[in-house]
Amino acid sequence: MSREMVSRNIQEYLETLYTLTRNGKTASVTEISEHLKVAPPSVTEMLKKLADKGYVNYSPYHGATLTDEGLKIGVKMSRKHRLLERFLHDILKLGKDTVHQQACEMEHALSDEAETALCRFLGHPNECPDDSQPIQPCDLGFPNCEECVNRQGEGLEKVGRRQKNLVAITELKEHDTGRVAFIRGGNRELRRLLDMGLTPNTVISVVRSALFGGPVEIAVRGSKLALGHKIASDVFIDVVGNKPESEQHG
């Protein structure tokens, strides 16, 4: 089913599931019910429908997780919501206590083209204002924000989209391995990371994961590199496995 065909109600459920399952958890009917303020029987009925559509994996008495297709939509809606929060707070100067509900109302009407334009206008922000939650990278086929800006005259249909959901280095676990797929930020941040050897398609492996906002230690090109939490949060990886660098091939 195309993203344009997905109803607001389904979008709300998939966004909620993304929020509740980000750390590899399974979301229970009770958790979803409390988050959406919907009766448990209604949640159960909807989860069955979402499972039939291929958006979730649902097991009675165990809960639900997102499929790859459901995850794409959940990530997309969360990204739109958090970009809107930044706009409402930073540009319109609304208080943090009101931006969340406003963003909830607006996110479903925000087109992908408007989402991209809003991100460029805001300078590619990396976190929302109310609780410092990270803003997910876009799904456009750019390797970095600099190229996105340089090609903003092109239609999105010419750019293409990533098929996989990316993960920030700060969210990886020890021994997670993958390739650098996207770098967020301006020219200064990009140059700094390129100087470190973190170029597109570079294979990295996590030696020590981030703890409580601390640095991340990674193995790259046969060397170990410590990245501060902030800069590591702007490097996104296409995860391919979980094994020490010494066991990697290719």
Contact residues for 28 (Cβ-Cβ < 8 A; gap 6+): 63
Total-model pTM: 0.86
- Where are the chain's structural domains? 1-136, 167-247
pLDDT in tens, the chain (250 residues): 344 468 999 999 999 999 999 878 999 999 999 999 999 999 999 999 999 999 999 999 889 999 999 999 999 999 999 999 999 999 999 998 899 999 999 999 999 999 999 999 999 998 888 767 889 999 998 888 988 888 887 777 777 888 888 999 998 999 999 999 999 987 888 888 888 888 889 999 999 987 777 899 999 988 999 999 888 999 999 998 876 544 544 4
Class of the CATH domain delimited by 1-136 = mainly alpha
| Beta-strand pair 216-220/203-208 | antiparallel
Superfamily of domain 167-247: Ferrous iron transport protein A (FeoA) (2.30.30.90)
Contact residues for 197 (Cβ-Cβ < 8 A; gap 6+): 220, 221, 223, 225
